[in-house]
């Protein structure tokens, strides 16, 4: 039986869903994978932090945060305010890093993950920023430390994208990818097809927690561009920054555009693509009309799809229907099991 102390940096919807999923799967982890675990450290942005080398009461931690309380009362020792010192003091074997994404630099998540690896921890994240801005350096550091830097949940939540190429497709060279990777814009366009205005569709996405108060990262294509950059960086082994992706968002799509597409038996989608060319990687995010002959046509609401073209297989598609914090949490759990293996 292998025992792991876990540190959670970020305890929002995804972090709490991960904690619940780990509790739900605890028996299976012990019996099938010979893994036991304890939560020894949790840090939040607004609800304090706690460290207990003997294991925190995770159920109480969940209740405290969800009732607006502070985790400070659970801590058995002073919890450093500095997050890097918190990681060092956590006594963890695995860090789950789930802080907000920084499109421009990936910080401070990059430093969080680097510090964890330097301390001999596996480093697991759902954050796209470090994948885009530090994938190669963090992967090299992990290898040097005999640990893993995994990030399955950074693109399409729990769907097996990165691990698919890492484990199941040896010697497959990715030539191109094509898909719908931003669920917020896909939901907005779907609701506009049903007759809502752009503003009404955005407001609905905000009301159900899919879109942020400032939805510009989604509707202007930045989230999609970061995901394209992450896929290219990892799966095509070619560093690519979001600013290098040719990017157009969906602000210009009007009800008139929607009706014109309907008349042509097509639909608007925010399409993400990347392709190897003799001149290098060409990457793009832009609204496109797609017809019923495209696999993107039937992907509606918050569902996502990515289609891969490799040198050894035909087109391979992965579809994820209606993701949420639970599916992202599964991606983190899968990374933990794979790292422990």
Same-domain pairing of 209 and 267? yes
Q: What are the tens digits of pLDDT across the range 224-282?
A: 999 999 999 999 999 999 999 999 999 999 999 999 999 999 999 999 999 999 999 99
Residue 194 is predicted with a pLDDT of 95
Residue 163 is predicted with a pLDDT of 96
Same-domain pairing of 42 and 189? no
Distance (Å, whole) CA 311 – CA 251: 36
Look at residue 187 and tell me if it is in a domain. Answer: yes
Query: What's the pLDDT band for 324 if we cut at 50, 70, 90?
Result: confident
Q: Does residue 76 carry a pLDDT above 90?
A: no
Q: What is the CATH number of the domain that holds 264?
A: 3.30.360.10
Number of domains the chain is built from:
2
Q: Which of 128, 147, 227, 269 is catalytic?
A: 227
Look at residue 166 and tell me if it is in a domain. Answer: no
Instruction: Summarize the confidence of residues 191-220 as an average pLDDT.
Output: 93
Residue 136, domain extent: 2-158+325-340
Same-domain pairing of 203 and 331? no
Q: Does residue 341 carry a pLDDT above 90?
A: no
- Report the range of poorest mean pLDDT among 42-46, 186-190, 322-326: 322-326
Closest CA to 210 of 287, 302, 275, 125: 302
Same-domain pairing of 282 and 190? yes
Q: Does residue 322 carry a pLDDT above 90?
A: no
Same-domain pairing of 310 and 330? no
- Report the range of poorest mean pLDDT among 69-78, 148-157, 328-337: 69-78
- Report the range of poorest mean pLDDT among 62-71, 73-82, 324-333: 73-82
β-bridge pairing 246-247 and 266-277: unpaired
Same-domain pairing of 46 and 123? yes
Same-domain pairing of 143 and 211? no
- C-alpha count within 13 angstroms, C-beta hemisphere, residue 258: 18
Instruction: Summarize the confidence of residues 91-103 as an average pLDDT.
Output: 94
Instruction: Summarize the confidence of residues 37-49 as an average pLDDT.
Output: 96
Same-domain pairing of 103 and 197? no
Same-domain pairing of 186 and 129? no
Q: Does residue 201 carry a pLDDT above 90?
A: yes
Look at residue 291 and tell me if it is in a domain. Answer: yes
Instruction: Summarize the confidence of residues 179-183 as an average pLDDT.
Output: 97
Same-domain pairing of 201 and 106? no
Could you confirm whether 147 is annotated as catalytic? no
Question: Tokens for 301?
Answer: 């609401």
| Average pLDDT in the chain | 96
User: Is residue 168 within 8 Å of 146, Cβ to Cβ?
Assistant: no
Query: What's the pLDDT band for 320 if we cut at 50, 70, 90?
Result: very high
Q: What is the CATH number of the domain that holds 91?
A: 3.40.50.720
Look at residue 164 and tell me if it is in a domain. Answer: no
Look at residue 47 and tell me if it is in a domain. Answer: yes
Q: What are the tens digits of pLDDT across the range 98-118?
A: 999 898 899 999 999 999 999
Question: Tokens for 222?
Answer: 């930045």
Same-domain pairing of 270 and 287? yes
Query: Does residue 45 or residue 51 have the better pLDDT?
Result: 51
Is the pTM value of this prediction over 0.85? yes
| Spatial strand order in the sheet of 316-320 | 246-247, 280-291, 266-277, 174-180, 304-310, 316-320
Q: What are the tens digits of pLDDT across the range 291-300?
A: 999 999 999 9
Residue 210 is predicted with a pLDDT of 87
Query: What's the pLDDT band for 209 if we cut at 50, 70, 90?
Result: confident
Look at residue 167 and tell me if it is in a domain. Answer: no
């Amino acid at each position: 039986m292998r025992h792991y102390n876990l540190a959670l940096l970020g305890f929002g919807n995804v972090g709490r869903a991960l904690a619940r999923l780990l509790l739900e799967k605890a028996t299976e982890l012990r019996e099938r994978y010979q893994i036991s675990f304890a939560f020894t450290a949790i840090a939040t942005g607004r609800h304090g932090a706690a460290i207990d080398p003997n294991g925190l009461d995770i159920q109480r931690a969940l209740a405290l945060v969800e009732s607006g309380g502070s985790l400070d009362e659970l801590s058995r020792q002073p919890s450093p305010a500095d997050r890097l010192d918190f990681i060092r003091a956590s006594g963890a074997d695995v860090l789950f890093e789930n802080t907000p994404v920084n499109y421009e630099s990936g910080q401070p998540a990059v430093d969080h993950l680097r510090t964890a690896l330097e301390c001999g921890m596996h480093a697991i994240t759902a954050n796209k920023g470090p994948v885009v801005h530090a994938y190669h350096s963090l992967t090299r550091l992990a290898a040097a430390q005999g640990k893993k830097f995994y990030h399955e949940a950074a693109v399409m939540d729990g769907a097996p994208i990165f691990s698919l190429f890492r484990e199941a497709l040896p010697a497959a060279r990715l030539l191109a990818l094509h898909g719908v990777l931003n669920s917020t814009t896909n939901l907005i366009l779907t609701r506009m097809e049903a007759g809502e205005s752009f503003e009404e569709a955005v407001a609905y996405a905000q009301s159900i927690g899919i879109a942020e108060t400032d939805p510009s990262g989604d509707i202007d294509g930045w989230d999609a561009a970061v995901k394209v950059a992450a896929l290219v960086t990892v799966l095509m082994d070619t560093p690519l920054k979001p600013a290098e992706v040719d990017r157009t968002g969906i602000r210009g799509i009007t009800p008139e555009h929607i009706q014109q597409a309907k008349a042509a038996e097509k639909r608007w989608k925010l399409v993400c693509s990347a392709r190897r060319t003799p001149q290098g990687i060409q990457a793009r995010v832009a609204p496109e009309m797609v017809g019923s002959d495209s696999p993107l046509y039937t992907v509606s609401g918050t569902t996502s799809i990515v289609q891969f073209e490799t040198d050894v297989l035909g087109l391979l598609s992965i579809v994820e229907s209606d993701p949420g914090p639970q599916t992202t949490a599964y991606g983190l759990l899968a990374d933990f099991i794979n790292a422990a293996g």
